[in-house]
Amino acid sequence: MKMSAGGFTDLREKLKAMTPHREEQRSGGEKRRRRSPSDEDEEEEEEVVTRELEARKVKRGIAQARVFTPEECTHIEAKIDEVVARGERGLYREHTVDRAPLRNKYFFGEGYTYGPRLERRGPGQERLYSKGEVDEIPSWVHELVISRLVARGLIPEGFVDSAVINDYQPGGCIVSHVDPIHIFERPIVSVSFFSDSALCFGCKFQFRPIRVSEPVLCVPVRRGSVTVLSGYAADDITHCIRPQDIKERRAVIILRKTRPNAPRLDTNPLSPSITLPSERRHKLKAKRSHRKADPDAAHRPRILEMDKEQQRLSLFSRQDRRGSADSENSWRRVDAASLYKHSHHTHTDAPSRQVKMRRH
């Protein structure tokens, strides 16, 4: 091998000499990756301190009170069972009931789109349904729940215009979220029934299988207690119900006030939505799905028109046989009817076959 002018016998050595900084960066990167145990301990300590500071912020935005006695809880829980039974019988409007695995939601007063029901994904895309698309708040919620919270000074008179009942089965959950700030004013008020549980803040969910990270803060919620979220706890950190915290059936009534300028789903003002009874709505859906599944449906109007034309030609043919004066026209009509029958043979005897032939 010939010696180059620079004294290098190999082109790779020359390139290596021309770019020494790459080797320095590589060796420096290896040094950075080799972190000492003391560095890791310092980072863990910093993370613990950060989480503790965040937990304190969350606590400042939480207020809790034990309001309902066990006897009052039992009475309210019977009312919740009635809501569930009405939902099972299909007696509520279309958007009142929202079902999910191990958890059902019942919207009253105001309902809104969220999660997979969003037209566009992402924060701030939630929308209220049009007025009248969910049922009104039941009178017993006003009399047994809201009035008690007003009397205790937990919420002002006339604050609540949206009540949601979340009914959880054991192992049910609701993933980490922030109640939409552009839809609901603060505070967010919830009342727990049937069993004790916990409300967690700052968790991250993973699925298949479902896993939940350690929370920044975990707050016990007792049967008959009221939890009020505001400030940092309501706006700046997510909250959730973990599957492991629902060991028995649990229900929560969430009481909120919608903002006057909260966005709603677009509706056509020329054709306002009509709320139908559930049974009739299901029948209409079944009819629509039947029409979609029928491949010959689009051809039927044309076939009906052809049937009418054939009947008209047959009528003319019978009139001509009785002695129509215009024999030439009579023969033309008869010939037309004969050609029609010949080209569309077995139409009256095998209508399904005739329809199938026209589809090709």
Which positions are annotated as active-site residues? 112
Q: Please report which helix (H) or strand (E) contains residue 53, including its range.
A: helix 37-60
- What six digits make up the tokens of 224? 């008959």
Which residue shows structure tokens 């054709």? 271
Task: Give the integer Cα–Cα distance in Å for 139 and 76.
Answer: 12
Task: Give the integer Cα–Cα distance in Å for 321 and 327.
Answer: 9
Task: Give the integer Cα–Cα distance in Å for 90 and 97.
Answer: 9
Residues 6+ apart with CB under 8 A from 204: 176, 212, 213
Concatenating the DSSP letter of every residue in 226-281 gives EEEE-HHHHHTS-EEE-GGG--S-EEEEEEE-B-TT--B----TTS------HHHH
Strands ordered across the beta sheet of 217-221? 174-177, 239-241, 197-201, 217-221
Residues facing residue 206 across a β-bridge: 211
Closest CA to 198 of 156, 241, 227: 241
Which residue shows structure tokens 């939601």? 105
Cβ neighbours, 10 Å, residue 96: 22
**Vertex 137: Cα angle to 134 and 139 (nearest 5):** 145
Residues facing residue 98 across a β-bridge: 105
